[in-house]
Chains A and B, each alone.
Chain A
Amino acid sequence: MKKYHSSYAKKRTFKSALVEKTVKYFFFLNGMISVLFLLLIILFLFKEAISAISGIGIAEFFKNVQWYPTSDAPRYSIIPLLYGTLLTAIPATIISSFLGIILGVYLSEIASGRTREIIKPFIEIFAGLPTVVIGFLILAVGSTFFQELFNTGTRLNALLAAFGLSIILIPTISSLTEDALRAVPDNLRMASYSLGINKFSTIRNVVIPAAISGVSAGIILGFGRAIGETMIVLMASGNAAELTLNLLHSVRTITATIAGELGEVAYGSPHYYSLFFIGTFLLIITFVINLISELIIARMRKKLKKMN
C-alpha cells in the first residue's frame, strides 16, 4: 500500500513537472513574439532604408530641400517634410501642454471627487477617439471657420493641423499630469498649507515642482504622439511640401507623405525605398523621444520613493 502510494506520487510529480516546464516555455515563446516583431520592424525598415541610401545617396536626402519624388528629375529631400512635421507638432504640443496641464491640475487639485469621476472618463474617451474623425471635422467645420477668423490664403495649413492634434494630445497630457500630481504625497501639501500658503501658490510652488518629471514626461510623450500622428495632419495640413516657417502656410509632414504616396508607388523604385528611408527616420525620432520620457518617469519614481 505504502509502496503503491509512493510510486503513484512519483509518477504524478514527474508528469506534472513535465507539464509545468512545457507550459513555462510555451508562455515564454509567446512573450518573445513582441521581441521578434520589434526586431523585424527595425530590421525590415533599416534594410529598405539602406537600399534607399545606396540607390539615391544619403546626401540627396539632406540637400536641395525639395520633395518631388515623381517629377522627371526627382528630388528626395527630407528637410521640407521635417519642417512640416515640426511646424505642426511643436505648436500642437505648446497649445495642449498649456491646456492639458491646467486640466490635469483641475482634476487632481481642485475638482471634487464626484466631478472628477464624471469628467475623467469623458476625457479618457476622447483619447481613444479615431483620429480620422477629428480630421473630418476639421475639413467640414474647422477649415472654413478658421479661414474667416484669420483671413488666411490657404484653407488648410499647419496651424489648423496643430489645433486638430491638440484635441488628441490634451487628454494624453492631462491624464499623465493628473497621475503625476496625485502621486505627490499629501503631507507636502499639508506642510505648505500650515505655513499659511494659499492653494494656488501651493500648487505652483510645491505640488508642480514635486511632480515636474511626470508632467514633463507627459509633454514629451505628447510631442512624440504629435510627430507620429498621421490622419489629422494628412487631412488638415494641406500637404504642400513647402519649406516654410509660416504657420498659416500649407505643409507636408513625414507621416502624411508615407500615407499619401505608398499606395501609388511602384515596388522597388527609388521612390518606394525613399518612403522607407523617411519612415526609418521617423522611427528613430519617436524612439529617442519615448526613451527620454521613460528615463524621466523612472527618475520621478525614484524621487517619489525617497519622499515617502
Chain B
Amino acid sequence: MNNRFKENIKKKSSSDSIIDKIMINAIRLFSFIVIIIFILILGKIFYEGIGVINWNFLTGIPKSDISKGGIGPAIFGTMAVSLIMLILAVPVGIFSAIYINEFAKDTFWLRLIRASVNSLAGVPSIVIGLFGFGFFVLFVGKSIDSILQTGMFFGQPAIIWASATLAVLVLPTIIVTTTEALNSIPLTFRQASLGLGASKWQTIRYVILPQARPGILTGVILALSRSIGETAPIMFLGSAFFLPNLPLAYLDLSFIQIPIINPADQFMHLAYHIFILSTQSSNPTLTEPFQYGTTLVLVVITLLLNLTAIIFRFRFRKINEVVKRNQ
C-alpha cells in the first residue's frame, strides 16, 4: 500500500514536471517569437533605409524627382513644431506637477485635477486633433483675425496651432512623469530644508527641483518623442507634403537679419511625409528606398529619445535608492 502510494506520487510528479517543462518552454518560445518579430521589424527598416542616407538626403530640399531631393525641410519642420510644443507644454506641466505633489491637500480640487489629467491622457489623439482644428484654428485663430483685422492670417492651419494641439496631447505625459519624479524624492530632504528655516517655496526651488531634474527631464524627453511620432493630429493642422522653403521669418534689426521660426506658416513633418510617400506615391518601386530612408530617420530619432529617457530614469532611480539606503 505504502509502496503503491509512493509510486503514484512519483509517477504523478514526473508527468507533472514534464508538462510543467513543456508549458514553461512554450512561454519562452512565444516570448522569443514576439521579440524576434520586433527585432525583424527594426532590422528591416535599418537594412532597407540605410542605403539612401547621405548628407544630401538629410539636408536637401525635396524635388519632384525624389532620388535627387532630400527631407531637410521635413526634419526642420518636425523640430520647429516640437520646439514650440515644448515651450507651451513643459512649464505648465511642471508647475501642475509641483502643485499636485507639493501643495495640494487631498481636497476636491486635487481629485478634480488628477481625474482630468487621467482623462486627458486617455483621449484618442485623433479626437485631440479634431478639437485642435475646430478650437484653435477655426475658433481662436478666426477670432484673432477678426479682432486684429488680419484677414486670413491666423485662422488657418499653421505651426502654432499644430504645436498647441500637440501640447494638449503631451501635457498629461509631462505631468504624470514629473509628479512621479517629485514623489520619489525622500521626505527627509523636505524636512531637512524646512528644519533649516527655508520656506516652502525655497525648499521647492533649491532642494526639490534640482534633485528631481533627471526625472523631470525623462518626462520632457518622452513628451518630445511622443509628439514627434504623432501623425493623426497634425494631418489637418498645417503639415504640407511639399514645401521647399523653410517656415522662417526674418527679424529685421537693420544691421542684421535674424531668422526665427514663423509660427503662422505651414510646415513639412517627417511622420506626415512618410504617410504621404507611402500612400500617394505614383511610382512605388522607385520611391520605396526613400520611404524606408525617411522612416529610418524618424525611427532613429524616436529610438534615441526613448533610450535617453530610459537611461535617465534608470539613473534617477539608482540615485534615489542610494540616498534611501544611506539614511
The residues of A with any CB-CB pair to B shorter than 8 Å are: 16, 19-20, 23-24, 26-28, 30-35, 37-38, 40-41, 44-45, 48, 99, 102-103, 105-107, 110-111, 119, 121-126, 128-137, 139-141, 167, 170, 196, 198-201, 224, 227-231, 234-235, 255, 258-259, 262-263, 267, 275-276, 279, 282-283, 286-287, 290, 294
The answer to whether A106 and B232 have CB atoms under 8 Å apart is no
Tell me whether B45 and A41 are in contact (CB under 8 A). no
Q: What's the least CB distance linking B254 to chain A, in Å?
A: 38
Query: Which listed residue, A30, A31, A196, A228, touches B127 by the CB 8 Å rule?
Result: A228
A-B contact pairs, 27 of them (CB 8 A): A26-B95, A31-B99, A33-B171, A34-B113, A38-B123, A41-B127, A41-B128, A41-B135, A44-B139, A103-B30, A119-B35, A129-B303, A130-B229, A132-B229, A132-B272, A132-B275, A136-B275, A137-B295, A140-B278, A170-B34, A230-B232, A235-B278, A255-B124, A259-B235, A262-B236, A282-B126, A290-B122
Complex Cα gap A283–B45 (Å)? 34
Q: A31-B99, A34-B172, A132-B275 are in contact. Are A282 and B124 (CB under 8 A)?
A: yes
| Interface status of B96 (Cβ within 8 A of chain A) | yes
Q: Select one of A102, A229, A234 contacting B30, CB under 8 A.
A: A102
- 9 closest A-B pairs by CB: A228-B124, A130-B229, A30-B95, A27-B99, A230-B232, A290-B122, A106-B31, A198-B20, A31-B99
Q: Tell me the complex Cα distance, A99–B299, Å.
A: 24
User: Dominant SS at the B interface?
Assistant: helix
Partner among B96, B279, B302 whose Cβ is within 8 Å of the Cβ of A139: B279
Decide if B133 touches A262 in the complex (CB within 8 Å): yes
**Min CB gap A192→B, angstroms:** 13
**Known interface pairs A44-B134, A106-B28, A122-B38; A34-B44 also in contact (CB < 8 Å):** no
B222 interface residue, CB < 8 Å from A? yes
* Contact (Cβ within 8 A) B310 A130: no
Please state if A122 and B35 are interface contacts (CB–CB under 8 Å). Answer: yes
Q: Are B41 and A283 in contact (CB under 8 A)?
A: no
Min CB gap A224→B, angstroms: 7
Are B134 and A30 interface neighbours, CB within 8 A? no
CB neighbours of A229 from chain B (8 A): 124
Query: Does the CB pair B100–A110 fall under 8 Å?
Result: no
Given contacts A19-B199, A124-B310, contact A130 B302 (CB under 8 A): yes
Residue in A35, A107, A130, A198 whose beta carbon sits within 8 Å of that of B231 in the complex: A130
Contact of A48 with B229 in the complex, beta carbons under 8 Å: no
Q: CA of A283 to CA of B122 in the docked complex: distance in angstroms?
A: 9
- Chain B CB count within 10 A is highest, among A110, A227, A259, A263, for A259
Further pairs besides A40-B131, A136-B275, A262-B236: 17, Cβ < 8 Å? A19-B199, A27-B98, A30-B92, A48-B134, A102-B31, A124-B310, A128-B306, A132-B275, A134-B41, A136-B274, A137-B41, A137-B44, A140-B288, A200-B23, A231-B232, A234-B232, A267-B138
**CA of A136 to CA of B290 in the docked complex: distance in angstroms?**
12
Which residue from chain B places its CB closest to the CB of A174 in the assembled complex?
B34
Is the Cβ of B274 less than 8 Å from the Cβ of A133?
yes
How many residues in B have their beta carbons less than 8 Å from beta carbons of A? 85
Question: What is the CA–CA distance of A276 and B236 in the complex, to the nearest angstrom?
Answer: 14
The reply on B208 being an interface residue by CB < 8 A is no
CA distance A133 to B277 in the complex (A): 12
Any A CB within 8 A of the CB of B319: no
Query: Which chain A residues lie closer than 8 Å to B298 at the CB level?
Result: 130, 132-133
Output the least CB separation between B242 and chain A (Å). 15
Q: Which residue of B lies closest to A202 (CB)?
A: B20
Fill in one digit per residue for B5-33: 1 if any A CB lies within 8 Å of its CB, else 0. Answer: 00000000100110110011001101100
Q: Which residues of A contact B150 (CB under 8 A)?
A: none
Instruction: Give CA–CA (A20, B202) in the complex, Å.
Output: 9
Cβ contact within 8 Å between A230 and B302? no
| Interfacial chain A residues near B225, Cβ < 8 Å | 128
Chain B CB within 10 Å — which of A28, A141, A199, A224 has the most?
A: A28
Q: Which residues of A contact B138 (CB under 8 A)?
A: 267
Which chain A residues lie closer than 8 Å to B168 at the CB level? Answer: 37, 41
Contact in complex: B96, A231 (CB < 8 Å): no
Contact between chains at B134 and A34 (CB < 8 Å)? no
Q: Check: B201 CB closer than 8 A to any chain A CB.
A: yes
Which residue among B17, B127, B133, B288 has the maximum number of chain A CB atoms within 10 Å of its CB? B127
Q: Is B323 an interface residue (CB 8 A)?
A: no
Closest to B131 in A: A41
Complex Cα distance A252/B96, Å? 39
Task: Knowing A122-B35, A135-B278, A199-B24, say if A20 contacts B201 (CB, 8 Å).
Answer: yes
Question: Which B residue's beta carbon lies closest to that of A280?
Answer: B127
CB distance from A288 to the nearest CB of B (A): 10
Identity of the chain A residue whose Cβ is nearest the Cβ of B17 in the assembled complex = A198
Verify A141–B44 contact, CB threshold 8 A. yes
Contact B19 A32 (CB under 8 A): no
Q: In chain B, residues 279-297, which have Cβ atoms closer than 8 Å to a Cβ of chain A?
A: 279, 288, 291-292, 295
Asked whether B134 lies within 8 Å of A276 as measured between CB atoms, the reply is yes
A263 to B272, CA, bound (A): 13
* Chain B: minimal CB distance from A226 (Å): 10
In the complex, which residues of chain B have a beta carbon less than 8 angstroms from the beta carbon of A135? 275, 278
- Write out the residue numbers on chain A whose beta carbons fall within 8 Å of the beta carbon of B96: 27, 30-31, 33-34
Given contacts A110-B24, A130-B302, A133-B298, whether A41 and B123 have CB atoms under 8 Å apart is yes
In the complex, A21→B275 CA distance in Å? 50
Is the C-beta of B257 less than 8 angstroms from some C-beta in chain A?
no
Contact of B216 with A by CB under 8 A = no
